[in-house]
Amino acid sequence: MSNGKKMNLSLKIWRQADKNSAGEFKDYTVNNVSPDMSFLEMLDVLNEELIIKGEEPVAFDHDCREGICGSCSLYINGRPHGPKRGVTACQLHMRSFHDGQSIVIEPWRANAFPVVKDLIVDRSAFDRIITAGGFVSVNSGGAADANSILISKDDVEYALDASQCIGCGACVAVCKNSSASLFVGAKIAHLSRLPQGSPERHKRAINMIKQMDKEGFGSCTNTEACAAECPKEISMDVIVTMRKEYMKAIKEME
Amino acid sequence: MGWFIKFIDSSIGKKIVMALTGLFLSIFLIAHLAGNLLLLAGDGGVKFEEYANFMAESGNIPVRIVEIALFILLIYHIINGIRITSINRKARNIKYKKVDASANSTFFSRFMIQSGGIIFIFLVIHLRSFFFPYRFSHPEITMYEAVKTAFENPLYSGFYVFAMVLLAFHLNHGVQSAFQTLGLYDKKITPIIKKTGTAFAIIICLAFAIIPLYFLMGMGE
Ligand code: FES
């Protein structure tokens, strides 16, 4: 545990009333921040103060606050989810900052993720990519017997690693090209090697990539920033898998 | 054919084209360097002239075919690169106020269009001084003499060396990235590819840069 010394911080936060209005940065100070608070709790404290003062609180996305839902989406001091690797903003603690530090907080920036309000962006482009092919079309029927479908341990581990993606969009946010490749790659890699997902792998690759391009995301130039910043530490490997799946699917392209 | 256009025009297809053309151009660099090193033979350019004449002969069909392929692929590489960059830049209209890019990616990977642009300027100058005159007309001085005169000018040599540094930057990211784009990637092989790519970039560009320095220091006869 930290020594519990309280901190005073100056924040620069993007404020934008709604989708259509122009936004701007506003300066705030929060005092007596405990190093044991999470980053979102620090924003809660700020918001309480703003409400007492009769000002509009800062809108930001959050839900689980334990790194599993992918809602939180803050660009903190030039990095998605802040300065620590392998954590979401909700898992980031204020002990990662120091007294008197100034912190710039921005929403994800990508045309495919328009700002809804303040720090909240519309990530429905991801939903549309999933709808385009990120599923398995089988009728589930009755519960299958255990071990009736054998899957090699390597394939299981590979699929489970990829399935950790929480769809937060940090990959898009950090990429200089606003590419969604790590997200789409994770979904394709998750399903392609499993017996349930494999029959549709080609169609899936074609359709998801087509939708990804249509949503206005850029293309991957292998800077690997996404894998470095992914809170779930999804590897570049999934992007390579995505490309291979796409190349294999060329036969089915019309 | 429609499917093929769709494939090479998709975000992934464009990158595959970039990787393939880039690797071809990298192989060309090796061949080009091997020929150029004859300039350092210290024989007043005899061997180099032989080689240059052999390459420029219009009857040399294989060389002519490779030459045309090279130009087409080079132009495709450039246009494709500009298209990718412009699409990627348009994907984010509102920029961040603060970006800590060095925390998650290498400078080289973010500098490809700039390094490529300088290499392009270099190529235009380079082709105008050596390739076009000797390929399409018959200048009075030999190619060796033309090289010697050009490189004895510190400005010309300086820009040449500068362009080689940028070429090294470009190759350092480009070579390993091409393998990754084409699907060669895993925990064991990728670190080796990255180191080899860096070594390739340094060795090739250093060897090219030695040539103007050799003449600049008055070592060419
Ligand atoms: S709020 Fe659920 S991951 Fe951060």
Question: Residue A30 is inside which H or E element, if any?
Answer: strand A24-33
pLDDT at A151 over 80: yes
C-alpha A38/C-alpha A40 separation (Å) is 5
Residue B10 DSSP symbol: S
C-alpha A129/C-alpha A184 separation (Å) is 8
| C-beta of residue A148 within 8 angstroms of C-beta of residue A196 | no
Q: Can you read off the two tokens belonging to residue A253? A: 């392209």
Closest-lying ligand 1 atom to the alpha carbon of residue A64: 2
CA distance, residue A225 to nearest chain B CA (Å) = 5
Q: Which of B97, B105, B173 sits opposite A25 (nearest CB)?
A: B97
- Say which amino acid occupies A213: D
Give me the mean pLDDT over the B129-156 stretch.
88
Tell me the per-residue pLDDT of A66-123, one tens digit each, with 9 for 90 and over.
Answer: 999 999 999 999 999 999 999 999 999 999 999 999 999 999 999 999 999 999 999 9
- Say which amino acid occupies B146: A
Q: pLDDT band at B200, cuts 50/70/90?
A: very high
C-alpha B116/C-alpha B75 separation (Å) is 12
pLDDT value at position A1? 44
Residue A144 DSSP symbol: P
CA distance, residue A148 to nearest chain B CA (Å) = 31
pLDDT at B10 over 50: yes
Tell me the per-residue pLDDT of A184-217, one tens digit each, with 9 for 90 and over.
Answer: 999 999 999 898 899 999 999 999 999 999 999 9
Q: Which of B12, B94, B103 sits opposite A246 (nearest CB)?
A: B12
For ligand 1, mutation pick of A61, A69, A75, A123 (most atoms within 8 Å of CB): A69
CA distance, residue A177 to nearest chain B CA (Å) = 5
Interface test with B, best of A79, A221, A239, A240 (most B CBs within 10 A): A221
pLDDT value at position B175? 97
Average the pLDDT over each of A67-71, A121-125, A141-145, B153-157 and give the range with the smallest value. Answer: A141-145
Q: Note whether A254 contacts B2, CB cutoff 8 Å.
A: yes
Which residues does B12 contact at the CB level (< 8 Å), separation at least 6?
Answer: A209, A219, A242, A243, A246
Output the average pLDDT for chain B. Answer: 93
Q: Which of A109, A213, A243 sits opposite B96 (nearest CB)?
A: A109
pLDDT at A130 over 50: yes
CA of A39 to the centre of ligand 1 (A): 11
Which residues does A32 contact at the CB level (< 8 Å), separation at least 6?
Answer: A6, A7, A8
CA angle A40, A41, A47 (to 5 degrees): 90
Give me the mean pLDDT over the B32-54 stretch.
91
Domains along chain A with CATH numbers: 7-117 (3.10.20.30), 124-253 (1.10.1060.10)
- Say which amino acid occupies A190: H
Q: Using a CB-CB distance cutoff of 8 angstroms, which residues of chain A are in contact with residue B186?
A: 237
pLDDT value at position B80? 95
Tell me the per-residue pLDDT of B165-193, one tens digit each, with 9 for 90 and over.
Answer: 999 999 999 999 999 999 999 889 999 99
| C-beta of residue A185 within 8 angstroms of C-beta of residue A164 | no
* Domain map (residue ranges) of chain B: 11-90+107-216
Q: pLDDT band at A21, cuts 50/70/90?
A: very high
Place of tokens 């898992």: A91
* Residue range B11-90+107-216 in CATH 1.20.810.10: no
Q: Searching chain B, which residue's CA lies closest to the CA of residue A83? A: B103
Q: Read off the pTM.
A: 0.93
C-alpha B30/C-alpha B37 separation (Å) is 11
Output the average pLDDT for chain A. Answer: 94
C-alpha A164/C-alpha B46 separation (Å) is 64
Q: Note whether A109 contacts B95, CB cutoff 8 Å.
A: yes
Longest Cα–Cα distance of chain A, Å, equals: 63
**DSSP codes, B170-210:** HHHHHHHHHHHHTT---TTHHHHHHHHHHHHHHHHHHHHHH
Q: What is the CA radius of gyration of chain A?
A: 20
pLDDT at A3 over 80: no
**DSSP codes, A13-27:** EEE-SSTTS--EEEE
Give me the mean pLDDT over the B3-26 stretch.
92
A219 C-beta neighbours (distance < 10 Å), count: 25
C-alpha B219/C-alpha B92 separation (Å) is 52
This model of the complex carries an ipTM of: 0.90
